[in-house]
Amino acid sequence: MSADAILTLDSVFAGYGKMTILNGTTASIRRAAITTVIGPNGAGKSTMFKTVFGLLPVRSGSIAFDGKTVTNFTPRQMLDAGAIYIPQGRNVFPELSVRHNLELGGVALPLQDVLPQRIDAIMERFPMLREKANAQASTLSGGQQKLLEVARGLLLDPKLILIDEPSIGLSPLMVQEVFTILKDLRDKGVTILLIEQNAKQALQMSDYGLVLEQGQTRIENAASAILADPRIAQLFLGGGLPQTAGAA
């Protein structure tokens, strides 16, 4: 376990009902870096995020974040600890205005007085949000909605962003924009944990990569090393890794 890890999972078991999806997942996520989680469909990538964020119970094992144990924290406790989670798909309230969607992102702020300022600052940073402040969130394009989701999370000034397949359904231009924002945040010291289907593109802009298969970490390494790893091709061709590969 490296000293500069902000998030660690230690033999985490979790799943849905009787189904176990995370089979002793162990991982160590570096601070102020972008780490992309890749793996075949159904590997448990989204399940890992939901478990970390407290939407699914940890059955055994432990999770630590920023120096404290956060196993089975509620989402609210995770927010208070400095993590935010942006799930896959559309995560806005379609009938509320852009401004009111943003405002709900501030519910977990310890000091509510700062919310108007923060909203103002975030609109400064994303002028599109100011332009559309009074429009229903449903009128935004997919990419604009994703920006809204990211901006809403940034109101809390998070240390860690868990973001699940942000590029899905977005135009290539918009994907670039979202990735640029994430890199910018990383440069400011924010840790980004990302899931992406387009593994190659995502790893190219990441610092680290984590390969998850059948609920276990198969590879944890620098993104460049993973890109150069011949086993990755095998994995994504559906071959699966031999058990001896083990977790890094």
Ligand X SMILES: Nc1ncnc2c1ncn2[C@@H]1O[C@H](COP(=O)(O)OP(=O)(O)OP(=O)(O)O)[C@@H](O)[C@H]1O
Residues that bind other proteins (CB under 8 A): 53, 55, 74-76, 79-80, 85, 87-91, 93-96, 100, 103-105, 107-108, 152
Using the contact rule CB under 6 A, the part of the chain among 41-49, 65-73, 101-109, 138-146 near ligand X is: 41-49
Q: Which is nearer to Mg ion, 101 or 206 (CB)?
A: 206
For residues 56 and 123, which CB has a smaller minimum distance to Mg ion in the complex?
56
Q: How many CA atoms lie within 13 A of 226 on its CB side?
A: 29
Q: How many CB atoms lie within 10 A of CB 46?
A: 16
Residue type, 70: V
Contact 210, 220 (CB under 8 A): yes
Q: Which of residues 41-80 bind Mg ion (CB under 5 A)?
A: 46
Name which of 72 and 136 has its Cβ closer to ligand X: 72
Which CB sits closer to other proteins, 129 or 223?
A: 129
Q: Tell the smallest beta-carbon distance from residue 130 to other proteins (Å).
A: 19
Residue at shortest CB range from Mg ion: 46
Stretch that binds ligand X, among 45-53, 79-87, 110-118, 216-224 (CB under 6 A): 45-53
Residue 205's nearest CA partner among 184, 236, 188, 233 is 184
* DSSP E strands, the chain: 5-16, 19-30, 34-38, 60-65, 68-69, 83-86, 160-164, 191-195, 208-213, 216-222
Q: How near is the Cβ of 46 to ligand X at its closest, in Å?
A: 3
Going across the sheet that includes 68-69, the strands are 19-30, 5-16, 60-65, 68-69
Is 166 one of the binding residues for ligand X (CB under 6 A)? no
Binding site for ligand X (CB under 6 A): 16, 19, 21, 39, 41-47
